[in-house]
């Protein structure tokens, strides 16, 4: 029983896998004498945009600010309603309010845990007809856990209603629909490089990506006091910059991301094969590639399973236990979709994330499967 613990994530593993290159990147920046918005950030922005298959990337301080910047670059703010999900990281909804707009929360499709297109359309219509203050201006599609939203349907709805589409790709680096990577579908998209994300920095970081040059220019100005030129503020800006050391290290990590994503998919395949008979495993919509930021199963007695895994030295997590509309900070203030949020509340009670990172061994994966199966049999 004295087996090694198996953790949800292994951030140190990410450093050790590329230690000489990461140490070299840090040293290069330290010796350059230039620490904020220099050639490292510019080089990473070029590489990351190319990797995403878009024409522009703008590095910012974190994934929350990336969403704020995306909204503000589009001109979305006070008096505007932004439709998104309640089953997400609180950052998605916090960013809408930080931009001055009003979040309207819509239920999820229980198979993919992502925004339900039909309920989105119902919510936009109901909101417009309700006489509530604010006009529908944008949708934030969150590719939760790494599963791409149904962007074909959501994109159609956005066009029909004349609202912007923003993709929150914080959990979905490299997820794809029909071979096109997420981030390339919306008007603009946000990424986070928080250390646990699939492309993680060793500190905070984020980016917005877009094919629209004007939006990229506005984002670049907004991240630094609204400057178009030094000391000349064209816009009311923020200070949310990606620093040179993080950018240099992200460049190193990006070179290994496809390999790590492949490993995540192989682990997910093994979990699928081992666990499908015992509980509900992730379903991947046909034609899409899941990035497996998290491997999330469902079970009505989720807390019991988490406790059993803990006893066996296996980490797990709940993403997320309290939907945004039930959080103290946001309860009551948020205009709610007419269709209700039943699937969101059911998911919050049933989801459990199993260990998922590129440094799990075959033995680790087998042990997680065996412990889950043993628990479901008692
Ligand atoms: C992590 C995350 C964010 C916020 O990113 P930070 O870098 O932590 O600010 C936003 N949305 C989702 C879905 C996330 O998972």
Q: How many CB atoms lie within 10 A of CB 286?
A: 5
Residue 143: per-residue pLDDT:
98
- Going from the Cα of 166 to the center of ligand 1, the distance in angstroms, rounded, reads 14
Dihedral of CA atoms 87, 91, 97, 103 in degrees, nearest 10, equals -20
Q: Does residue 291's CB lie within 6 angstroms of at least one atom of ligand 1?
A: no
Q: Is 340 exposed, middle or buried (0-12, 13-18, 19+ CB in 10 A)?
A: exposed
Q: How confident is the model at residue 79 (pLDDT cuts 50, 70, 90)?
A: very high
Q: How confident is the model at residue 96 (pLDDT cuts 50, 70, 90)?
A: very high
Q: Does residue 211's CB lie within 6 angstroms of at least one atom of ligand 1?
A: no
Q: Does residue 61's CB lie within 6 angstroms of at least one atom of ligand 1?
A: no
Q: Are 205 and 254 in contact (CB under 8 A)?
A: no
Residue 364 vs residues 13, 148, 378: alpha-carbon distances, Å: 15, 27, 22
Q: Are 171 and 197 in contact (CB under 8 A)?
A: yes
Bridge partners (DSSP) of residue 209 are 57, 189
Q: What is the pLDDT of residues 268-317, one digit of tens each?
A: 999 999 999 999 999 999 999 999 999 999 999 999 999 999 999 999 99
Q: Which two tokens stand for residue 93?
A: 């909804």
Residue 353 vs residues 147, 193, 282: alpha-carbon distances, Å: 14, 20, 11
Q: Does residue 88's CB lie within 6 angstroms of at least one atom of ligand 1?
A: yes
Q: Does residue 171's CB lie within 6 angstroms of at least one atom of ligand 1?
A: yes
Domains and CATH numbers, the chain: 12-252 (3.40.640.10), 256-377 (3.90.1150.10)
Q: Is 362 exposed, middle or buried (0-12, 13-18, 19+ CB in 10 A)?
A: exposed
The C-alpha atoms of residue 117 and residue 340 are separated, in whole angstroms, by: 14
Q: What percent of the chain shows pLDDT beyond 90?
A: 92
Residue that wins the pLDDT comparison between 321 and 1 = 321
Q: How confident is the model at residue 129 (pLDDT cuts 50, 70, 90)?
A: confident
In 182-337, at which residue ranges do the beta strands (DSSP E only) sit? 188-192, 206-210, 227-229, 232-233, 288-289, 295-298, 335-336
Q: Does residue 205's CB lie within 6 angstroms of at least one atom of ligand 1?
A: no
In 40-187, at which residue ranges do the beta strands (DSSP E only) sit? 56-60, 80-85, 102-106, 108-109, 114-115, 135-142, 164-168, 176-177, 180-181
Residue 27: per-residue pLDDT:
98
Nearest CA to ligand 1 atom 7: 63
pLDDT of 1 strictly over 80: no
Q: What is the pLDDT of residues 165-211, one digit of tens each?
A: 999 999 999 999 999 999 999 999 999 999 999 999 999 999 999 99
Residue 334: per-residue pLDDT:
67
Q: Does residue 142's CB lie within 6 angstroms of at least one atom of ligand 1?
A: yes
Quick one: which atom of ligand 1 is closest to the CA of 192?
A: 7
Q: How confident is the model at residue 128 (pLDDT cuts 50, 70, 90)?
A: confident
Which of 60, 62, 63 has the most ligand 1 atoms within 8 A of CB, as the residue to mutate?
63
- Going from the Cα of 371 to the center of ligand 1, the distance in angstroms, rounded, reads 30
């Amino acid at each position: 029983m004295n087996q090694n613990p198996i953790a949800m994530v292994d951030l140190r593993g990410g450093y050790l896998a590329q230690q000489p290159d990461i140490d070299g990147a840090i040293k290069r920046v330290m010796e350059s004498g230039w620490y904020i918005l220099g050639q490292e950030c510019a080089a990473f922005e070029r590489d990351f945009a190319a990797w995403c298959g878009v024409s522009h990337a703008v590095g910012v301080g974190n994934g929350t600010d990336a969403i704020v910047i995306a909204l503000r670059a589009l001109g979305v703010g006070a008096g505007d309603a932004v439709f998104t999900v309640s089953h997400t990281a609180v950052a998605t909804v916090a960013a809408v309010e930080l931009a001055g707009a009003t979040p309207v929360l819509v239920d999820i499709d229980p198979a993919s845990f992502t925004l339900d297109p039909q309920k989105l359309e119902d919510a936009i219509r109901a909101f417009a007809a309700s006489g509530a203050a604010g006009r529908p201006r944008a949708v934030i599609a969150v590719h939760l856990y790494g599963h791409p939203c149904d962007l074909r349907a959501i994109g159609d709805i956005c066009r029909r209603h004349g609202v912007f589409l923003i993709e929150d790709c914080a959990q979905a680096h490299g997820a794809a629909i029909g071979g096109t990577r997420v981030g390339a579908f919306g008007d603009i998209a946000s990424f986070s490089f928080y250390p646990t994300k699939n492309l993680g920095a060793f500190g905070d970081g984020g980016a917005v990506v877009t094919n629209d040059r004007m939006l990229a220019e506005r984002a670049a100005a907004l991240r630094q006091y609204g400057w178009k030129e030094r000391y000349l503020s064209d816009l009311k800006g923020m200070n949310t910059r990606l620093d040179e050391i993080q950018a240099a290290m992200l460049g190193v990590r990006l070179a290994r991301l496809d390999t790590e994503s492949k490993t995540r998919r192989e682990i997910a395949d093994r979990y699928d094969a081992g666990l499908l008979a015992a509980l509900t495993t992730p379903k991947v919509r046909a034609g899409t590639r899941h990035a497996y930021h998290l491997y999330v199963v469902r079970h009505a007695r989720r807390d019991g399973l988490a406790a059993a895994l803990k006893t066996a030295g296996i980490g797990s997590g709940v993403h997320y236990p309290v939907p945004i509309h039930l959080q103290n900070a946001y309860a009551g203030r948020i205009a709610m979709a007419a269709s209700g949020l039943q699937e969101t509340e059911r998911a919050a009670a049933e989801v459990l994330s199993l260990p998922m990172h590129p440094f799990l061994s075959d033995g680790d994966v087998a042990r997680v499967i065996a412990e889950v199966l043993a628990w479901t049999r008692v």
